[in-house]
Structure 1
Amino acid sequence: MIAWSEPQADSQFATVDGLRLHYKRAGDGPAVLLLHGSASSLHHFEQVATLLSNGLDVIRPDLPGWGLTGARADRDYRVPTYAATVARFLDAVGVSRCFAVGNSLGGNIAWNLALDYPERVAGLVLVNATGYPEKTVPPALRLARNPLLRPVLRRLMPRRAIERHLRSAAGPRSDIVDAAMVERSHQLMNRAGNRSTFVDFVNTDQPDRSGDLARVSAPTLVLRSAAIDGQHFARDIPGAIESIHPDGGHLLPEEDPKWVAAAIAAFVRPLAGRGDQHRGDRA
């Protein structure tokens, strides 16, 4: 059995905001930053990263509170705080400018990064991103907002509950949720501090910045599963283009990594060729 809760051979660490932030990096070329969603980890983009690393410098962090990075001491899980930490992470790994790609919460962080640090973002790819207040809240998140259940979830995150959450997030035709995925998610969610992070994150009042999306200046590609609701990025970000996957669910980078990777590569390479992105030096 793989020890997902321990560093692997290609694990790297950078100290950012007092955290020993875990990340993986592969390939060479224009920098592409892959940001996973809540209750997830850098493994979410494993196959996409492999496909992109031929000709691109692919960087995948475990965001604060998830994976091997662990919880923030200040318990500040507001999205603009995440974006600020990501900007300092880019400094720590020697990247001045990148293409920011994010799924779910990672997409929310990516477009907040583009708002607050526009000089750092050469292009933006939003994969079933969040950030609109009317978006439907998944059942697992609603449970974590129940004041009676919050103390329980801080102490225990059952395997069966994790499997139900993964199956509800995947598309109806997807078969990606298997024993290995459930085991990986269960190990990482039950790593010290991560259960409490989940509860803290879900109960954090997030600022509604959707009215600022018109200020995003980075070229933007929106990748959306047809069944995902509450997204208007293609409408609200000037010049954004959208590609819709007919069958995918919320976990699109794992459900159809070839489709996601091909869309990212086709978007990034022409922009990088125009000189819209500056390569960072390896830390």
Structure 2
Amino acid sequence: MVERSDADADSKFTAVDDLRIHYKRSGRGPTLVLLHGSGSSLYHFDRVAELLAGSFDIIRPDLPGFGRTGPRPDRDYRIPAYASTIARFVEVLGVEHYSVLGNSLGGNIAWNMALDHPERSTALILANATGYPEKTVPGAMRLARNPLLRPLLRHWSPRSAVERGLRSSVGPGSTIVDDAMIDRAYRLLSLPGNRSAFVDLANTDQPDRSTEIPRISVPTLVLRSASIDGQHFARDIADSRELIHPDGGHLLPEEQPEWVADAVADFLDARAAGNRADDAR
């Protein structure tokens, strides 16, 4: 297991299987787990975590293959493997029940957790989640699947490519992509093994579980940017609620943190109020 030497003062690490998962935890209240997307890190949720920490116990890990967690020794980047690892991670932290908010890849992991561990999931929030086969593949993943480029990309990628990837992932009016954001993403990508892990993830043959999505019974909120394709969760998950942001891009929690945080808080507070009313009957 690789120990990351550049951790922040509030960084935490815990051992799960053969991984040492880097995470941050803040706030008090019902537990809310935040899962970032591919090519990202727990910093994706900095502002959302700050806004929600007054009411929730916020846990946000660097997913295996990203950030300071680093690559999986077994190189297994199938979504069910991710879901199993994160479920065990939360269990190691002593949390029995939790809600999950996932963006992109993190949303895919989140709904797989809801399928596989419904007894532990109290609510599911999907922000531009992936999981349907017709979903558009990001440009960086298409490049990583190129057999001629794969060996090179395992060891090298220019900062300019990271910048292009970030700018293509936000809405046309977004101004969040600055030098600090680009430098952070490039620095984390450059940590030992992370480039190779991204190539492994991009070339993993993912099982298609989209036909199982209607089996999700966890209360679900779908947050979607109007420009994002391949999103059918509101159609397929019974009694789910969908909110659409007209201007957001793929990185919705980072682009529109106040909108996301307000939607999440309203949804979870309504769920809690409903549960209290049921208990009172």
Report TM bin, short chain: over 0.9
Contact 1:36/1:106 (8 A) holds in 2: yes
Structure 1 residue runs of 5 or longer lacking an equivalent are 277-283
Alignment of 1:91-170 (within 5 A): 91-170=91-170
Displacement of 1:139 in angstroms is 1.2
Are 1:31 and 2:38 an aligned pair? no
CA–CA distance in 1 between the matches of 2:138 and 2:66? Answer: 18
CA–CA distance in 2 between the matches of 1:6 and 1:134? Answer: 38
For the residue of structure 2 that corresponds to 1:21, the secondary structure is strand
CA–CA distance in 2 between the matches of 1:59 and 1:271? Answer: 20
Quote the residue 2:58 is aligned against.
58
CA–CA distance in 2 between the matches of 1:62 and 1:116? Answer: 21
CA–CA distance in 1 between the matches of 2:51 and 2:62? Answer: 19
Contact 1:157/1:189 (8 A) holds in 2: no
Read off the aligned partner of 1:66 and give its amino acid letter. F
Are 1:11 and 2:11 an aligned pair? yes
Displacement of 1:269 in angstroms is 1.4
For the residue of structure 2 that corresponds to 1:266, the secondary structure is helix
Aligned length: 273
Q: Write out the 4+ residue segments of structure 1 that deviate beyond 3 Å after TM superposition.
A: 273-276
Displacement of 1:274 in angstroms is 4.2
Read off the aligned partner of 2:91 and give its amino acid letter. D
Displacement of 1:123 in angstroms is 0.3
Quote the residue 1:77 is aligned against.
77
Contact 1:51/1:261 (8 A) holds in 2: yes
Contact 1:115/1:216 (8 A) holds in 2: yes
TM-superposition CA deviations, 1:35-90 (whole Å, max 9, x none) = 00011100000000000000110100001110000100100000000000011001
Quote the residue 2:279 is aligned against.
none
Quote the residue 1:203 is aligned against.
203
For the residue of structure 2 that corresponds to 1:254, the secondary structure is helix
Contact 1:5/1:187 (8 A) holds in 2: no
Read off the aligned partner of 2:11 and give its amino acid letter. S
CA–CA distance in 1 between the matches of 2:19 and 2:273? Answer: 35
CA–CA distance in 1 between the matches of 2:251 and 2:92? Answer: 29
Q: Which shifted more, 264-273 or 245-254?
A: 264-273
For the residue of structure 2 that corresponds to 1:155, the secondary structure is coil
CA–CA distance in 2 between the matches of 1:274 and 1:60? Answer: 26
For the residue of structure 1 that corresponds to 2:119, the secondary structure is helix
Displacement of 1:17 in angstroms is 1.5
Contact 1:5/1:188 (8 A) holds in 2: no
CA–CA distance in 2 between the matches of 1:94 and 1:47? Answer: 25
Read off the aligned partner of 1:237 and give its amino acid letter. I
Q: Which has the higher contact order (CA 8 A, sep 6+)?
A: 1
Quote the residue 1:251 is aligned against.
251
For the residue of structure 1 that corresponds to 2:123, the secondary structure is strand
CA–CA distance in 2 between the matches of 1:97 and 1:157? Answer: 40
Q: Which shifted more, 5-14 or 82-91?
A: 5-14
Displacement of 1:273 in angstroms is 3.7
Displacement of 1:275 in angstroms is 4.4
TM-superposition CA deviations, 1:245-271 (whole Å, max 9, x none) = 000000111101000000000011122
Contact 1:30/1:272 (8 A) holds in 2: no
Q: How well do the aligned residues superpose, as a CA RMSD in angstroms?
A: 1.1
Read off the aligned partner of 1:203 and give its amino acid letter. N
CA–CA distance in 2 between the matches of 1:270 and 1:66? Answer: 33
Read off the aligned partner of 2:86 and give its amino acid letter. V
CA–CA distance in 1 between the matches of 2:18 and 2:273? Answer: 36
CA–CA distance in 2 between the matches of 1:48 and 1:101? Answer: 11
Read off the aligned partner of 1:8 and give its amino acid letter. D
Displacement of 1:272 in angstroms is 2.8
Read off the aligned partner of 2:100 and give its amino acid letter. A
For the residue of structure 1 that corresponds to 2:228, the secondary structure is coil
Contact 1:5/1:191 (8 A) holds in 2: no
TM-score (norm 1): 0.95
Read off the aligned partner of 1:37 and give its amino acid letter. G
Read off the aligned partner of 1:256 and give its amino acid letter. Q
Read off the aligned partner of 1:147 and give its amino acid letter. P
For the residue of structure 1 that corresponds to 2:151, the secondary structure is helix
